[in-house]
Amino acid sequence: MDATESLIVCGGCNAKLGPGKLENILKDLHQEKQPNVMVDFETTDDAAILKINDDTAIIQTIDFFPSMVNDPYLFGQIAATNALSDVWAMGGTVVSALNIVCFPQELDQHILQKILQGGLDKVVEAGGFLAGGHSIQDQKPKYGLSVNGIVNPQKILRNNTCQPGDDLILTKPLGVGIITGAYSTQQIGKEPFDAAVKAMTTLNKYASEIIRQYPVTACTDVTGFGLLGHLNEFLPHGLAAELDAAAIPILPAAYDCAADLLVTAGGQRNRNFLADKVHFTFEDEALAEVLYDPQTSGGLLFSVPPQYTEKMLAQLNQLTLPSAKIGRVMPQETAEIIIN
């Protein structure tokens, strides 16, 4: 790639505000409830949902960030894949999208064309239509999508409705934040980076089409708050998650990087916020860093009654990325999240 057509690496979901900051900002924002609004920002769900009639509700979501890779086309693909994911996390189908663009006036405009092409290609793969967008001049390139989807109001997947006894399943390996950061500073080679790219550009559409065939009780996608941060949002009051460390899918290079202290600032923010909620029954700092690591365009995390797990995993593991049962939901006795 021509150096004049590359981006500065500075973002992805690692650029998200930390969960504690968001909680404090949003807690005092209130408005009169509307009868057709089924999900809004007062919960920690992945998108807003507005009911149109008994058969149809609209899913609205938005996501954008600075680049975490220097290839503009790849950046467009990753940002779009990440933004589209919220629709599938809610159990819906993608309908349309609008571009969100921040771009420096002085930068080569061909870079922006490549970003937009990457985004368009993923919207088309998702089965949606890219209908336009909005752009502003900014010092650093940022890109993402506002996405509309549809879902049957009776089949919405929420992120905090899991039940005691449910199995927890994850559909993508962890560690892309650590790997992209290490690659950008030339600490690792291209092979582990390519594995992270494959994860970040794989649409959650394919996993979603499988899990909607089963009585899934809750679902979310794993992004900037890391696996443990999103799992914290996933658990209703009084419930806990017990994770099996050996079963959690991890990109091997991410663990090695974490062991060498090549970690992310976003991971540290997540760790600080969750300090009193997570208990490791053994010492493994590298594993902890991976579980706190912000994921850009991560997989789906969902809960399902255990009698369906084996059959679901057999179908999910016919896809290109590994899925795994990583733990179970149980009544809370001590910590909210326990890693064995």
CB–CB of 232/336 below 8 Å? yes
Q: Specify binding-site residues for ATP.
A: 16, 43-45, 63, 86, 133-135
Q: Specify binding-site residues for Mg(2+).
A: 46, 86, 221
Burial 11-34 (b: 16+ CB within 10 A, else e): bbbbbbebbeebeeeeeeeeeeee
- The number of beta carbons lying within 10 Å of the beta carbon of residue 252 is 12
User: Which phi and psi angles does 204 have, rounded to 5°?
Assistant: -75, 0
13 assigned to active site: yes
Q: At which residue do the structure tokens 């937009």 appear? A: 116
Distance of CA 231 to the CA centre of its chain: 12
Q: Specify binding-site residues.
A: 16, 43-46, 63, 86, 133-135, 221
For 288, residues 6+ apart whose C-beta sits below 8 A from its C-beta are 271, 280
Q: Which of 135, 119, 141, 176 minimizes the C-alpha distance to 66?
A: 141
Q: At which residue do the structure tokens 């910590």 appear? A: 335
Of residues 10, 13, 102, 219, which has the active-site annotation? Answer: 13
Burial 294-321 (b: 16+ CB within 10 A, else e): bbbbbbbbbbbeeebbeebbeebeeeeb
* Catalytic residue set: 13
